[in-house]
Amino acid sequence: MIQNEREQFNSVQKAIAQASTISLYTHVNPDCDTLSCALALYHALNSLGKIVDVYCVDPVPETLRVLNGAHVVTLPEKKTHDLSIAVDCDGLDRIGNAMKSFLASKKQIAIDHHKTHRKFSDITILDTSVSSCAEILFRLIKHMDIMSKEIAELLFAGIVTDSGCFQFSSVSKQTHEVAGELMSYGFDSGKVIYDVFKKTSINKFMLENRVLSKCKFYSDNQIAIITFKQEDFDATSTSMNDTIGTIVSVIDIDSVKVAYAIAEASNKSYKIMIRSKNGIDASDIAREFGGGGHARAAGCRLNGYYEDIVDKLLKVARDRL
Ligand SMILES: [Mn+2]
């Protein structure tokens, strides 16, 4: 551990020691990393006798209700806590409309791993070199000497999902070492990987089949686009939540360097998911459209006619081939 981080962890530990009520915040549209981090902290702080609330402005996705403690996550309440902690949020806006409640506490801490982090708290623990926020939580909770089997299992889930099951370029020797040390707490790692990473539903399987069969290729098959239209959701009884992960099948095609998934959110409004490889930066593409993310996985929102959106996305990708 670097000296600077030890000092930062000490200041976090001190802030926690001085607080009796603590609120934890995940980002909007919560993923497994942000929820795992919040719930790991929830268990850790509970073990210290703290009164802890876990807040998210959106409901926990069905697939992540398996996480230990997921039932305690609620919408932000009108309460003032001694301390608030945001996990996996690269800016105040990522907390959603709960930002006022986050700022209302006497002290604020942010723990994050995004390159795009914009400081918004009294104490910031930022490490952009790690695959997941869970890796930072592992070091913090170990520093505080309150690791347990439940916490280890949650952090392992966060690492598995944010690293694409140890496949993204953000994965280092350290990621595997952390995962190995977490596994020594004795949970069923294969079950965690199945539950949070591999498990699918018949409806989602049907949606993937529809969308993948209509995949379009451009620029000598170096760019690929899949599209989730409202009619695809209707025909398979699925929703936006079921679009997660399908794009991986597309970026895995050997010739494809940039893969886009365009998902219809409402009339003329689309959620864009971007994956890249061969040195092309997905977050750089997303930023062209006001979005953000990581080097290999990023996203943004675009409004307008579908055909115009395709043209814009193709142009930006072609410029980077
Ligand atoms: Mn994350």
DSSP 13-61: HHHHHH-SEEEEE--SS--HHHHHHHHHHHHHHHHTT-EEEEE-SSPPP
CATH number at residue 243: 3.10.310.30
Q: Which of 198, 226, 247 is the last residue of a domain?
A: 198
164 pLDDT more than 70: yes
What is the pLDDT confidence band of residue 169, given thresholds at 50, 70 and 90?
A: confident
221 pLDDT more than 90: yes
Residues facing residue 251 across a β-bridge: none
What is the pLDDT confidence band of residue 239, given thresholds at 50, 70 and 90?
A: very high
Question: Beta 21-25 vs 258-266: how paired, if at all?
Answer: unpaired
> How many CB atoms are closer than 10 A to CB 284?
16
Q: How far is the CA of 307 from the centre of ligand 1 (A)?
A: 32
The answer to whether residues 182 and 156 touch, using CB atoms and an 8 Å cutoff, is: yes
Q: Quote the DSSP letter at residue 194.
A: I
Q: How far is the CA of 89 from the centre of ligand 1 (A)?
A: 8
The answer to whether residues 98 and 120 touch, using CB atoms and an 8 Å cutoff, is: no
Question: Beta 51-55 vs 21-25: how paired, if at all?
Answer: parallel
Q: How far is the CA of 50 from the centre of ligand 1 (A)?
A: 25
Q: How far is the CA of 241 from the centre of ligand 1 (A)?
A: 17
Same domain, 7 and 125: yes
Q: How far is the CA of 90 from the centre of ligand 1 (A)?
A: 9
Q: Which residues constitute the domain of residue 274?
A: 202-318
- Give the global pTM: 0.86
**Interval 142-161 mean pLDDT:** 98
Same domain, 62 and 156: yes
Q: How far is the CA of 158 from the centre of ligand 1 (A)?
A: 8
232 pLDDT more than 60: yes
168 pLDDT more than 60: yes
Q: Which of 198, 230, 260 is the last residue of a domain?
A: 198
Q: How far is the CA of 201 from the centre of ligand 1 (A)?
A: 24
Distance of CA 239 to the CA centre of its chain: 19
Q: How far is the CA of 221 from the centre of ligand 1 (A)?
A: 30
296: which residues sit within 8 A by CB, 6+ positions away?
168, 169, 170, 275, 276, 277, 282
Residues facing residue 238 across a β-bridge: none
DSSP-derived 3-state class of residue 74: strand
Same domain, 150 and 227: no
CATH number at residue 77: 3.90.1640.10
At residue 308, what is the residue type?
A: D
Q: How far is the CA of 295 from the centre of ligand 1 (A)?
A: 13
Identify which has the larger pLDDT, 20 or 5. 20
Q: How far is the CA of 169 from the centre of ligand 1 (A)?
A: 14
Q: How far is the CA of 49 from the centre of ligand 1 (A)?
A: 27
Q: How far is the CA of 231 from the centre of ligand 1 (A)?
A: 31
Percent of the chain with pLDDT over 90: 93
The string of pLDDT tens digits covering residues 274-320 is 999 999 999 999 999 999 888 889 999 999 999 999 999 999 999 99
Spell 226-265 as b/e; 16+ CB within 10 A means b: bbbbeebbeebebeeebbbbbbeebbeeeebbbbbbbbbe
Q: Which of 138, 169, 198 is the last residue of a domain?
A: 198
What is the pLDDT confidence band of residue 19, given thresholds at 50, 70 and 90?
A: very high
Nearest to 59, CA basis, from 80, 43, 73: 73
Q: How far is the CA of 162 from the centre of ligand 1 (A)?
A: 6
Q: Quote the DSSP letter at residue 243.
A: G
Same domain, 192 and 173: yes
Same domain, 179 and 220: no
Q: What average pLDDT does the structure give for the chain?
A: 96
Q: How far is the CA of 159 from the centre of ligand 1 (A)?
A: 8
Same domain, 34 and 129: yes
Same domain, 173 and 275: no
Same domain, 125 and 267: no
Same domain, 111 and 128: yes
**Interval 188-192 mean pLDDT:** 98
Nearest to 300, CA basis, from 283, 279, 312: 283
Task: Give the span between the Cα atoms of 166 and 169, in whole angstroms.
Answer: 9
* N residues, the chain: 321
At residue 69, what is the residue type?
A: G
Domain count, the chain: 2
Nearest to 202, CA basis, from 228, 238, 230: 238
Same domain, 52 and 75: yes
Same domain, 161 and 26: yes
Same domain, 134 and 245: no
Distance of CA 117 to the CA centre of its chain: 14
Q: What is the pLDDT of residue 302?
A: 98
**Interval 140-162 mean pLDDT:** 97
Task: Give the span between the Cα atoms of 168 and 130, in whole angstroms.
Answer: 11
Ranges of H-type helices in the chain: 3-18, 32-47, 99-104, 133-143, 149-162, 173-183, 189-193, 202-213, 230-236, 246-251, 282-288, 306-318
Q: How far is the CA of 196 from the centre of ligand 1 (A)?
A: 14
**Interval 150-174 mean pLDDT:** 94
